[in-house]
Structure 1
Amino acid sequence: MLLFTTSYNIVIPEMNAFLTDLGSPGLKGLIIGLFTISAGFTRPFSGKLSDIIGRKKVMLVGLLISVVVCSLYSFAFAAWFLLLLRFLHGFSVGFYPTGATALITDILPEDKRGFGMGLWGTFISIGMGLGQGLSSFIVETGNRDALFFTAALFTALSYILFFNVRETLSKTHKFQLSHLRIKSDEIIEPNVIPVAIVMFLSAMCSGIILVLSPDISDHLHIGNKGAFFIFYVMATILIRLVTGKVSDTYGRRETLAVGMIILCISMILIGLSETETWYYIASIIFGVATGIISPTIFAWTADLSPPNRRGRGTGTMFIALEFGILSGALSTNLWYQNNLASIWNVFLFGAGMALICVIYLIWHIKTKKAKH
């Protein structure tokens, strides 16, 4: 998962500049938006299939799509072609993490899910930070073609290690076209809706950051466009190692409420950042928030998903993730309009979404009986 996460994150910091070079700077929000649309659309299918044909086969589909698309980025000759590739790339993320997370859920003991998901999430975060941090360095020392080749190489390495993974679904079936018929009750796992609401609201903040961090780096004259994510990842790894068992002890919702308050603070600080130092401090606080929120959301999803519908439960959580990122990206595209003066309004909106999530969690704690 670390290698796969690195492969699709490594291209993100250079995408805004690539799209600008192709003559369409006003479409920056679609770089993330189209990616998340296809990933979100894929989740009901990948969630259902992982419960039928097996976790590993669903993961394999994601790997194959990723290596093909990463290899094709170098041939993007127009903005529409680049955006098409971004759309297709989202299918890989719609498949691979869904199957992988369902597989992880199968093998984790119930009383150690918070700790286990914290470890799992740590490697995802390392992949994000490694990819974002290496991006500008590779382009500066080589070129964009070298960047896209490196992305394909990371996917290929993940593919090699994939064969050491053991299938955890006890009874698998051969794929049939009928499996692609999605019924209404197969799109969303109702038990996971509370998690999905929290994931959606928190992911909106991530969507904003993914779109704006490269431009903020340019504005603050930071050479490495992925520097934000380097500090973010260091903080999130440290906090996961320290607080991995917190939600197992004190409860998922209580832990999430604390994380969302910190997320709200981080969005305000990022929007107010006028110096490189403050920008990095804000990224560290954002990393602390994510280090608390992410593993707790994964663990809560595992708590609420019925054993025979873990793939669908995981898919529901990821659908909320993708549409949260999409909403954040499209909101940014609507307000930002390539105008740095509007950045504060965008981040204030993100802080508002985090605050709404805190209110929802407090309400849920007071009115709903907890499962864990």
Structure 2
Amino acid sequence: MKTYGPNFWKLSFAMLLFTTSYNSVIPEMNAFLTDLGAPHLKGLIIGLFTISAGLSRPFSGKLSDIIGRKKVMLIGLAVCFVVCGLYSFAFASWFLLSLRFLHGFSAGFFPTGSTALITDILPEDKRGFGMGLWGTFIAIGMGTGQGLSSLIVEIGNRDALFFTAALFTALAYLLYFNVNETLEKTQPFKWSYLRIQKDEILEPHVIPVAIIMFLSSMCSGIILVLSPDISEFLNIGNKGAFFIFYVLATILVRLFTGKVSDTYGRRQTLVVGMILLCISMILIGMSESSTWYYVSSIVFGIATGVCSPTIFAWTADLSPPDRKGRGTGTMFIALEFGILSGSLMTNWWYQNTLESIWHVFLFGAAMAFLSVVYLIWHIKTVPSKH
């Protein structure tokens, strides 16, 4: 516990609360949009969120390397708090989708700044294990938010859900306030910092891990869009039940696999994780009962438990010391646009029927398999100490 220091633990719990906040509203968004008369736009619930998050990453990555990690994180917290409070006033589909777009900026800033700060803290020889811990808090937040969503709505209503999401963000701020800045030389903000040059959009050193993140996060985009509807098709009352089983599984493997990647290599560990991801997508697409759906969520949880901390650690390995924020931002850009691509492909193929779900998940399995092919090629052609 003392290895990483109080900064690590305070920020980890802040990330858990922040992740709980923005994930808690997701299971109800499909139904909310349907009530507003636009069920055909379900794919945009995730798509617009990820577009704004992806667009903001070059700015948040650059700013975190200049004005400091904490100031970038504060922007994300403020946006999240305001938008969660405004969801209750969404009276039309265009208003709700506009709020989803604005909400994405919070995910573009807070995780970028916090992950860069975490990278500053972790010793290189324990980076995989540390990222496993960090990822565990993110996974718990994701599962807690998704799992609590339907329960809060049943006890209260959607307004209660949005108020609770805002409350989680406020609690995250209390922890964030006590975190120490790790960037040694911070500079005052200047508007000129918002002018992004070509070499500031992506960090070239982390392109290999960005490719893997992009391909694998397509699967996450598919699941985020379809899991609430699959729950309805299978008569599962809690729309976030999939993520409860997912979290239980991913927590059990994250700490172990993070240490494995420190020993056996990031890429070798990712090959195993991506094979499991491919299998999980096939299982979810074939699920015709709640039992198989829960089994597939466990396999998906194991897969992400293997992949997520390894991807974060590999990003830290490849990022130059003076461009850690940009390196983290590049990885998150790949995450956002992978989720966006997965959600848009879902919107293209999904016909609001259980039968059409199989084709979407088969595409996801193909993307996971493609990442395995790329990793094997990379291992054979590019030497690496990690």
Could you say which TM-score interval applies, normalised by the shorter chain?
Answer: over 0.9
1:216-260 Cα shifts (integer Å, max 9, x gaps): 000000000000000000000001133220000000000000000
Does residue 146 of the first structure (1) align with residue 163 of the second (2)?
no
User: 2:351 and 2:288 mapped to 1: Cα distance?
Assistant: 20
User: 1:339 and 1:31 mapped to 2: Cα distance?
Assistant: 18
1:162-215 Cα shifts (integer Å, max 9, x gaps): 111010000000000000000000000000000000000000000000000000
User: 2:229 and 2:216 mapped to 1: Cα distance?
Assistant: 21
Counterpart residue identity of residue 294, structure 2:
Y
Does residue 124 of the first structure (1) align with residue 138 of the second (2)?
yes
- Tell me if structure 2 keeps the 8 A contact 1:304–1:371: no
Counterpart residue identity of residue 361, structure 1:
L
Moved more, 331-340 or 30-39: 331-340
- Tell me if structure 2 keeps the 8 A contact 1:303–1:371: no
Report the number of matched residues. Answer: 372
Q: Which of 52, 65, 72 is residue 51 of structure 1 equivalent to?
A: 65
User: 2:127 and 2:173 mapped to 1: Cα distance?
Assistant: 26
Does residue 170 of the first structure (1) align with residue 187 of the second (2)?
no
Does residue 90 of the first structure (1) align with residue 119 of the second (2)?
no
User: 2:39 and 2:22 mapped to 1: Cα distance?
Assistant: 21
Counterparts in 2 of 1:219-258, with a 5 A limit? 219-258=233-272
1:246-300 Cα shifts (integer Å, max 9, x gaps): 0000000000000000000000000000010000000000000000000000000
Counterpart residue identity of residue 205, structure 1:
C
SS at match of 1:244: helix
1:318-355 Cα shifts (integer Å, max 9, x gaps): 00000000000000000003232210000000000000
User: 1:242 and 1:216 mapped to 2: Cα distance?
Assistant: 31
**Long gaps (5+) in structure 2:** 1-14
- Tell me if structure 2 keeps the 8 A contact 1:204–1:329: yes
- Tell me if structure 2 keeps the 8 A contact 1:71–1:148: yes
Moved more, 97-106 or 234-243: 234-243
Does residue 40 of the first structure (1) align with residue 54 of the second (2)?
yes
User: 2:130 and 2:187 mapped to 1: Cα distance?
Assistant: 28
Q: Which of 336, 339, 342 is residue 325 of structure 1 equivalent to?
A: 339
- Tell me if structure 2 keeps the 8 A contact 1:61–1:95: yes
User: 2:291 and 2:263 mapped to 1: Cα distance?
Assistant: 35
User: 1:322 and 1:78 mapped to 2: Cα distance?
Assistant: 25
- Tell me the percent identity: 81
Match of 1:21 in 2: 35
Match of 2:115 in 1: 101
SS at match of 2:42: helix
User: 1:244 and 1:309 mapped to 2: Cα distance?
Assistant: 23
User: 1:308 and 1:243 mapped to 2: Cα distance?
Assistant: 28
Does residue 339 of the first structure (1) align with residue 353 of the second (2)?
yes
SS at match of 1:245: helix
Q: Could you say what the CA RMSD is over the residues aligned between the two structures, in angstroms?
A: 0.5
User: Under a length normalisation based on structure 1, what TM-score does the superposition of the two structures give?
Assistant: 1.00
User: 2:215 and 2:162 mapped to 1: Cα distance?
Assistant: 31
User: 1:311 and 1:161 mapped to 2: Cα distance?
Assistant: 21
Match of 1:214 in 2: 228
Match of 1:67 in 2: 81
**Long gaps (5+) in structure 1:** none
Counterpart residue identity of residue 260, structure 1:
M
Counterpart residue identity of residue 155, structure 1:
T
User: 1:17 and 1:362 mapped to 2: Cα distance?
Assistant: 42
User: 1:107 and 1:215 mapped to 2: Cα distance?
Assistant: 40
Measured after TM superposition, the shift of residue 371 of structure 1 is 3.7
User: 1:221 and 1:118 mapped to 2: Cα distance?
Assistant: 34
Match of 1:308 in 2: 322
User: 2:209 and 2:367 mapped to 1: Cα distance?
Assistant: 15
